[in-house]
Every structure is written in C-alpha cells, then in structure tokens.
Amino acid sequence: MSTATASVRRFLWSVRRELWETRSIYLGPLAVGGIILIGFFLALVPLPSRLRAAQALGGAELRAAVEQPYVIAAIILMAVDLAIAVFYCVDALYGERRDRSVLFWKSLPVSDVTAVLAKAAIPIVVLPLVTFAATVAVQTVMLVSSTIALAAAGLSASMVWQHVSLFEIWRINFGHLVAFHGLWYSPLYAWLLLASAWATRVPFLWAALPPVAVAIVERVAFNTRHFQTLVLDHFLGGSDIGNPGGHLTMTMDMLSSGHLDELLISPGMGIGVVVSLVFLAGAVQLRRYRSGM
C-alpha cells in the first residue's frame, strides 16, 4: 500500500468514524425531511382546490404557489445543514479531549492533519451532500404524492410538473449547497473547529467571544465597524453576489440567480478558503499539543 493510498484510506475511515459518532449528520436531515413530508401530506388535502384558485391568477403567481413548498423544503433542509454543522464543529475537537478518547485515537497511525481534515470535511463536503440527498428524496416524494393526490381529485398533474422542474431545482440546490454551504461558509466551520480544539471548557463561548471582542474593541477604539461588517457581509451577504437586486423572493431564483460561477471566483470565496486553511492549520497544531484539558 503506497503512502498516498494509505493516507486517503485513513482519511476516509476517519470520516466514517465521524458519521458513527455523530449520527445526526445524516439522521438530522432525514428526520426533518420526514417532518416536512408530514406537513406536505396534510397540505395535499386542500391542494386540488388551492390549485384551481391559483389557476385563475396564472403566470408567475401560479408558478410561485406551486413551486413554493419545494423551495421551502429545500431552505429548511439548508438551515438544518447549517445548524448541524455548527453544533458538530463546536464539539468535534473538544469532545474527544473531554472524554479522553483522543488518547485512543492518537495511539493509532492517523496524523493530526488527517484527523482534522476529516472533521472539516463533515460540514464542508459531507453535510452538503447528505442535505442534497435528503432534499432530492423529500422533493421526489412531494412531487409523486401530489401527482397522485391530483389524479385522485380528477385533475391533471401537468400543472405541477410544468412549474416544478425538479432537475433544475436539484442542479441549483446542489451548486448552492456545495459552493455556498460548503465552501463559502468554510471559514465559520474552520473557526469553530479551532475554538473547539482550543477550549478547555464551553467551546461555544470561545467561538463566540473573540469575534465579539474584536468588534467591541474596534467600535470603542476607532468608532468603526469594519470587522463586524466584514464578517456579517460574508456570511449573510454571500448569496447576493451576482444578484444585484438582492430581493429575496420565495422562488428557486433566490438560491440560484445562475450566479454560482461568480460566487466561486469572487474574492470573498478565495479569501474565505485561505482563512479556513489558516484556522484549520491552527486546529491541527492545537490537536497536536493538547491531548487533555
């Protein structure tokens, strides 16, 4: 086994290990997907009458009415992705020291780089993919079930199929999850992992306080808010890049704007990835030095 294959192998096993430990990584999106479906099934009962009414409106409003549940489902699952990612990162490097299992992991030939990269891969790669899979499953069930409900009511499902182009939604959703929730947010995850590796108690406070402190110091000392604006713009404004209007409408357009390419090559993305790597390098060093509390 060559060194490279061995490293990849150890990385993949380490990722798998994370999934064993934190089952909410896949159970969370699945559970929320199930809840969404329950709500959707309840809405199937009045669906035929609602569609008849919406038909009168026509055009964009009809489309919005039909498409909306699919978009809401995607957005809820994205929020779940973010929540799980945050909670996961905060505990990832802290928990293994708290229960001392880090002494077991470190007795095995897995380097700190591999271990930290595996943990970083969860929010950056694994969670977006799992969320995408959950979204596809949920939306497929939604489409099939509404088709059946409409057919039962004597309506043609063509209206739904016409306005909900799942493949288009999935393409956009996939790009958004990978580029935005994975890469664009990676400095947040890397920062949380760093705080998690650093903290001997309450890692959440270690994650939250330094940025707040920097903002306060800047505000008091210079009466400016550059740091605060920078951070908030990055994490709240990223989806507006290439979307000058910036109006959030409840359609798939909000997520796409067809501007993922611009997001990917924007300076914010490049700087974010570099910042992430710096934080992760810090987390690797901390894991090396800290085997206990």
Stretch of 67-75, 122-130, 218-226, 284-292 lying at the interface with other proteins (CB under 8 A):
284-292
Cα 112 to chain centroid distance, Å, stands at 25
Residue bearing tokens 């910036």: 246
In the complex with other proteins, the residue whose CB is nearer, 24 or 228, is 24
In the complex with other proteins, the residue whose CB is nearer, 171 or 288, is 288
Angle of helix 186-198 versus helix 203-222 axis, rounded to 10: 110
Residue type, 133: A
Q: Binder to other proteins among 140, 200, 249, 291 (CB under 8 A)?
A: 291
Count of positions on this chain that bind other proteins (CB under 8 A): 29
Please give the structure tokens belonging to residue 287: 């894991």
The answer to whether 289 contacts other proteins (rule: CB under 8 A) is yes
The answer to whether 100 contacts other proteins (rule: CB under 8 A) is yes
In the complex with other proteins, the residue whose CB is nearer, 175 or 203, is 203
Between CA 116 and CA 291 the distance in angstroms is: 14
In the complex with other proteins, the residue whose CB is nearer, 22 or 257, is 22
Site string for other proteins, 11-30 (x = CB under 8 A): -xxx-xx--xx---------
Q: Binder to other proteins among 49, 55, 101, 158 (CB under 8 A)?
A: 101
In the complex with other proteins, the residue whose CB is nearer, 19 or 144, is 19
Which residues have CB under 8 Å from 181's CB, separation 6+? 78, 81, 82, 85, 127, 128, 131
The answer to whether 219 contacts other proteins (rule: CB under 8 A) is no
In the complex with other proteins, the residue whose CB is nearer, 73 or 284, is 284
In the complex with other proteins, the residue whose CB is nearer, 114 or 276, is 114
Q: Which residues within the stretch 128-157 sit at the binding site for other proteins (CB under 8 A)?
A: none
Q: Binder to other proteins among 30, 43, 65, 110 (CB under 8 A)?
A: 110
In the complex, minimum distance from the CB of residue 10 to other proteins, in angstroms, rounded to a whole number: 5
The answer to whether 10 contacts other proteins (rule: CB under 8 A) is yes
The answer to whether 251 contacts other proteins (rule: CB under 8 A) is no
Among 137, 175, 147, 125, which residue's Cα sits nearest to residue 15? 125
Q: Which residues within the stretch 31-90 sit at the binding site for other proteins (CB under 8 A)?
A: none
Q: Footprint of other proteins on this chain (CB under 8 A)? A: 1, 6, 9-10, 12-14, 16-17, 20-21, 96, 99-104, 106-112, 114, 288-289, 291
